[in-house]
Structure 1
Amino acid sequence: MIHFNLILEKFNGIGKSQFVLFFMVAYYNISKGLNAVATVFIAYSPQKRCNVPPLDDSALYPNLTESDILNYTIPYDAVTEKYDNCMRYSFNLSKCNVDLTCVNQTYPAITCDHGYQYDRTIFTETVITEFDLVCDQNYLNALSTSLFYIGMLVGSIVFGNSADRHGNLTTKVDWNIWCDLPRDLYHWVYDFICNSLRMERLARNYESPRWQFTNGIDKKAIKTTKSMAKWNGVVLTEEDWDRATKNADKNINIPKKYSSLDLFKTPGIRLVATKAMFVWFSTTALFYGLVLNTGALAGDVFVNNVLGGVVGMSSMILCMFLMNRIGRRKLICSLLIIGSLCLLLSVVINQYKKANSGLETLSLAFSFAGRFGITGATEVMYPFIAEVFPTVIRGNGVGIASSCSRIGGILAPFVISLQHYLTWLPDVVFAGLALVAGLVSLTLPETNGCRLMETIEEAEIFYKNGKSKVSRSDDMVADVENLDNEVHNDLIEPANTSVL
């Protein structure tokens, strides 16, 4: 196996080929972002009350205001200081006339038996108003959102394994082609041909050479590397290739195919994988929980969504500069703890704000500060999770950790729905989860300043004593030789792996 790190050293950092790959990945993530926040608007839940015909007919009762209707028909809770908008007094509405003699607030409360009246000032129609997903049907709103993340969960499992077996871009090409199947035949044939030609060309030229070398596809890997070098204006000489291959004749049995089961066959990777799954589960549950709950914040939903986006972008940009300076672990831990404390402060202030607009604004500010920390931690997790796994099972590692993160996304809407019972409970749950995840993240191996691991054996040694530190080229070659000796002396023989 050619040691790609020795070749990569000749590239001297980021060049044109890396920018091309970056924009390719960024292009695919645009639609992902739109899908992630669409629920805030599509499933917006406006103010509501029970329909009480004919009392809410302005033609028959032109002098009745909305406050009057609420006062006459809807029970008021003195403890929460709110109307119970899922109930009404059970007097017979059909006997109502212009003098309101039918109104009797001594009658027991019943659930809304004539449907609901919604405030359509902001949205004329949403999923909530169309299907009446309120009151005892609230769980269906959470369930419908969770189904979207269940689809993402299935994709993480299936395509994480496929990425390790067939390559990242090849997997993406196949998925893009199949996504066009539901469309009409003419457009499908057209898109099939165009996407196939365009994406297969990209896959041939820009599949990960590290993955290709590690999986023994040396000819294609060399071609891919030379193409990248040409884009970057780098000249690779025969001496460079000889230097990278002179230690390639090893006795280590590197399986050609790996599955998710290989993440749990050796102790080091097993422990790291378990921690990574929990931390990514937590950060994703927190991120989507805060994003999807934007509609419940005080103020305008559109302004809040824009502010949330600005806060998120600011957090990501800051993390870009900080994660190589202070390390992944410390940064993730710090951001999660900051997020936890800000959410708790927001909850406390919100409980005592009453009609104080200043405290309401302060509570909103702490809520966005919490989102700042959570968003940053979530984004740092993406490169961090990829770095803690070796190349041969990186796709499976990221896939299974991503699967756990999708479980967090699936559960987030149900946690949010707890606010219908206790308004402060979702943020308290999220704050506690952020605190625990932050502490667990400190126990993961630090990958800042380390070269990527390629084999399971190399990963096991790195977890023990940090063997993958970046060094000079000559030292790197020596590290490879020592590493292979340690594999045979310190580790058990590699287990046979099965394809999942």
Structure 2
Amino acid sequence: MAVKTSSVDQVLDALGGAGRYQLFQYFVCMLSALSASFQLLNIVFVGRHVAHTCKQPVNISDIYHVIDNELYQANNSKIYFEKCNIRVEANISGDISTSDLSCIYGYEYVEGKDTSLMSDMDIVCDRAHLRGFAQTLLIIGQGIGAFVLPVFSDHYGRRPVQLLSHLCFLGLGVGVAFAPTYTVFLVLRVFLGFVQQGIVLTKMTISIEMFPSRHRKLSGLFGSIMWTFCTASIALIAYLMQTYSWRITQLVYCSVSLYVFVQFFLLDESLSWLITNNKTKQVTKNLKKAARISGKDYQTVLNVYKNIQKQQESENSLTESLLGSKDRGLNGKKMTLKEKDKTKPSFLDLMKRKRLAANVFVLWFVWITDSLTVFGLFMMSHSLAGSPHVNFVLYSLLEAPSVLVFYFMVDRYGRKKTSMTLHGTAGIALLAATVCKSVGKGSSWSPIAVTAFSCIGMFGAAGAWGTSFFFTPEMFPTNLRNVGLGTSSACSRLGGMLAPFSSLLAEHVEWAPGTIFGVCCLLATLLVNVLPETMGRELPQTVDDVEAWHKKTDAKTAKDMDNSP
């Protein structure tokens, strides 16, 4: 017997709606964002580019032996040790002859060789294309994790998946710091991305389920502020650690994951999940603790829970009597447990219904667009004028004003209008930045305009993605909520996998990245209109609840058309 989400809201309201227990649990969960964000974006600094030239041999004359041309002699030649090649120019009978060699003696780095992963493992010149794979493989791991881990979260609970993922994240982060080769580093990054999704998705789901519908926007507000603080801290740590080895810097980044041992003692299972899955014993235990912390009368809260249990049992009995026998087969015998399992909702139930399948595909595209745009802009932050650390912090802090826009719009104008406004802002701004870069090439105003419009684009894209995180869980019933959020997040990894190569694309077609980002954001603005509005609605319990939203919307639209002149 499952309890409807409306009943869950009654219990949460009895605890104060946004009482001390709920806020405490929310922040205990949300602090794991430090771990998730640090390992997601620290490659920008851990794997940063370090200026270099070809290394000189101990004996310069060795170069002439390599050239193996008697016309090249020390008395008529000049040797230039360039970024990716050794250029030897010889004056032969008044004519300049040039011979190019690769960096056969290795590389000489302006900073210490071990200050960056890329310099430590010589991922430069003909191996420079491998740099993007460090982020791409982590994103692939995220995609796999987003498909796999939510199933366990919906089945076994949010807490065990959060804690186990966080613990594995700590171990893998330490492993990355001691990776002996680039291949080992890449393999560990895949697994790092996999368990990172266990942290992120359960964190988001718990934060949504912690509050009744009238307080849910609080989770979006503080969640985005927390993420802004975390991403900005990445650049601060990188600045303070820029003279240290990348391995030490990596250990500093992953040290925040020691927080998992604090979570183990403080984090409780989601009340929504416990109530929905009829874990009565654990519910009563957690309610007693919650009532004590929130200063509410335990017996009053418990009575609310017992009353809605009785009400649901009564409704189930009435439904079964009207339908015949819900748990009996054609032969009148009771269904087996395996037969009952077949009646549980699955993701295919959404895909079998056209309107609901359309919702899913739109959400998937929106998530791909958001991740492509946000990650792409972060990866290209070095192209803006000024310090890369300042640029990164600037992009990170731009999420703060977008959070305020989200907070004041989401319950006043709805989720759809908020998402459309922010996506539209990002699309127009990024296209404007692209035009300014192309038209004003070489001018003094162009860099200023490009930076301004790019910042507005990041403002819109970051806010849009925050809205997607908030909006998406509301679109799915309880036992499919984490799976729905997980598949959307998994699809977004396609955008995340392409984002690291945006800088490489810009080197060949300068206007391409901004155009792609802008067009995708504008297309997302149009497609979001297909989705139902969830503002003021309690979280759906069943697939039928979601479909009923469309039926009510269609009926209202038809009525408005009939009444129109």
- TM-score interval w.r.t. the shorter chain? 0.7 to 0.9
What displacement does 1:427 show? 1.6
CA distance in 2, matches of 1:24, 1:384: 22
1:97-136, aligned counterparts within 5 Å?
112=102, 114=104, 120=110, 125-134=115-124, 136=126
2:10 alignment partner in structure 1: 6
Q: In structure 2, what is the Cα distance between the partners aligned to 1:127 and 1:197?
A: 29
- CA deviations on 1:265-315 (whole Å, 9 max, x unpaired) are 444433222221111121111111111221222221112112112212222
Give the corresponding residue for 1:298.
Answer: 385
Matches within 5 A, 1:466-485: none
Q: What 5-or-longer segments of structure 1 have no aligned partner? A: 58-71, 75-83, 185-190, 468-500
Q: Deviations over 1:376-416 (max 9, x none)?
A: 11111111111111111111111111111122212211333
Q: Which residue of 1 aligns with 2:312?
A: 248
Counterpart pick for 2:135 among 145, 154, 167: 145
- 1:173 partnered with 2:163: yes
Structure 1 distance, partners of 2:53, 2:169, is 41
Q: Deviations over 1:27-70 (max 9, x none)?
A: 1001222223312222323566777999x99xxxxxxxxxxxxx
Match of 1:420 in 2: 507
Correspondence 1:227 to 2:289: yes
Greater shift in the superposed pair: 304-313 or 457-466: 457-466
Which residue number corresponds to residue 264 of structure 1?
A: 351
Q: Residue type matched to 2:308 in 1?
A: A
Match of 1:213 in 2: 275
Corresponding residue number in structure 2 for 1:488: none
Partner Cα separation in structure 2 for residue 463 and residue 87 of structure 1 = 63
Match of 1:216, SS state, is: coil
Aligned letter for 2:374? F
Contact 1:44/1:295 (8 A) holds in 2: no
Name the CA distance, whole Å, in 2 between partners of 1:390 and 1:103: 82
Give the match for residue 316 of structure 1: 403
Q: Which amino acid aligns with 2:433?
A: S
- CA distance in 2 between counterparts of 1:102 and 1:260 reads 78
Q: Distance in 2 between matches of 1:197 and 1:73?
A: 55
Query: Are the equivalent residues in 2 in contact too, given 1:118–1:129 (CA < 8 A)?
Result: no
1:460-497 CA distances to partner (integer Å, 9 max, x unpaired)? 21233269xxxxxxxxxxxxxxxxxxxxxxxxxxxxxx
Per the alignment, residue 432 of structure 2 pairs with 345
Tell me the amino acid that sits aligned with residue 29 of structure 1.
A
Q: Is the CA contact (8 Å cut-off) linking 1:161 and 1:259 kept in structure 2? A: no
Instruction: Output the CA distance in 1 between the equivalents of 2:398 and 2:96.
Output: 47
Q: Is the contact between residue 52 and residue 73 of structure 1 (CA under 8 Å) also seen in structure 2?
A: no
Q: 1:294 to 1:419 in 2, by over 3 A?
A: same
Equivalent residue in structure 2 for 1:30, among 28, 31, 34: 34
Task: Report the Cα offset of residue 134 of structure 1.
Answer: 4.5
Change beyond 3 A, Cα 1:105–1:420 = farther
Q: For residue 435 of structure 1, report the CA deviation from its aligned partner.
A: 1.5
Match of 2:451 in 1: 364
What residue number does 1:159 align with? 149
Identical-pair percentage: 25
Residues 39 and 292 in structure 1, CA contact (< 8 A), matched pair in contact too: no
Q: Is residue 2:130 matched to residue 1:43?
A: no
Does the Cα contact within 8 Å between 1:210 and 1:221 map onto a contact in 2? no
Q: Which 10-residue stretch deviates more, 351-360 or 437-446?
A: 351-360
The residue that corresponds to 1:279 in the other structure is 366
Partner of 1:408: 495
After superposing the two structures, state which structure 1 stretch, 119-128 or 382-391, moved more: 119-128
- Which segment is superposed worse, 360-369 or 292-301? 292-301
Q: 1:105 to 1:53 in 2, by over 3 A?
A: farther
| Residue 87 of structure 1: how far off its partner (Å) | 7.4
For residues 105 and 352 of structure 1, what CA distance do their matches in structure 2 show? Answer: 39
- 2:270 is aligned with what amino acid? S
Give the aligned partner of residue 485 of structure 1: none
Question: Is the contact made by 2:154 and 2:483 (CA closer than 8 Å) also made in structure 1?
Answer: yes
Aligned equivalents of 1:38 and 1:289: distance in 2?
A: 14
Shift of 1:260: 4.3
How many residue pairs get matched? 427
CA contact (8 A) 2:113 2:119 kept: no
- Give me the whole-angstrom Cα distance separating, in 1, the residues matched to 2:95 and 2:522: 51
Contact 2:132-2:501 within 8 A present in 1 as well: yes
- Aligned equivalent of 2:75: none
**Which residue in 2 is equivalent to 1:478?**
none
Supply the AA of the counterpart residue of 2:466. Answer: E
Alignment partners' CA distance in 1, 2:457 and 2:112: 27
Give the AA of the match of 2:291.
A
Q: Which runs of 5+ in 2 are unaligned?
A: 62-78, 176-254, 321-325, 327-339, 555-565
Match of 2:21 in 1: 17
Quote the Cα distance in structure 1 between the aligned partners of 2:495 and 2:17.
Answer: 35
**Deviation digits for residues 134-173 of structure 1 (CA, Å, limit 9, x no counterpart):** 4553431111211111222222122111110011112112
Paired position in structure 1 for 2:413: 326
Q: What secondary structure is seen at the aligned counterpart in 1 of 2:312?
A: coil
Q: 1:196–1:414: structure 2 CA closer, same or farther, 3 Å change rule?
A: closer
Partner of 1:388: 475
SS of equivalent residue, structure 1 residue 248 = helix
Q: Aligned AA for 1:228?
A: A
Residues 8 and 293 (structure 1), Cα distance of their counterparts in 2 relative to 1, 3 Å cut: same
Partner SS state of residue 247, structure 1: helix
> 1:124/1:177 Cα in 2 relative to 1: closer, same or farther (>3 Å)?
closer
Distance 1:387 1:15 in 2: 21
Partners of 2:534 and 2:109 lie apart in 1 by 52
1:66-85 equivalence runs, <5 A: none
Aligned partners of 1:356 and 1:124: how far apart in 2? 38
Please tell me whether the aligned partners of residues 50 and 85 of structure 1 are also in contact (alpha carbons under 8 angstroms).
yes
Summarize deviations over 1:244-272 as a string: whole Å, max 9, x none.
Answer: 23431214778596654444344443322
CA distance in 1: counterparts of 2:52 and 2:93, whole angstroms: 23
CA contact (8 A) 2:284 2:302 kept: no
> Is the helix fraction higher in 1 or 2?
2
TM-score (norm 2): 0.66
Q: CA deviation at 1:110?
A: 6.4
Corresponding residue number in structure 2 for 1:377: 464
Query: How big is the shift at 1:106?
Result: 7.7
Equivalent residue, structure 1, for 2:231: none
- 1:115-143: CA deviation from partner (whole Å, max 9, x where unpaired): 88777379984334444444553431111
Match in the other structure for 1:335: 422
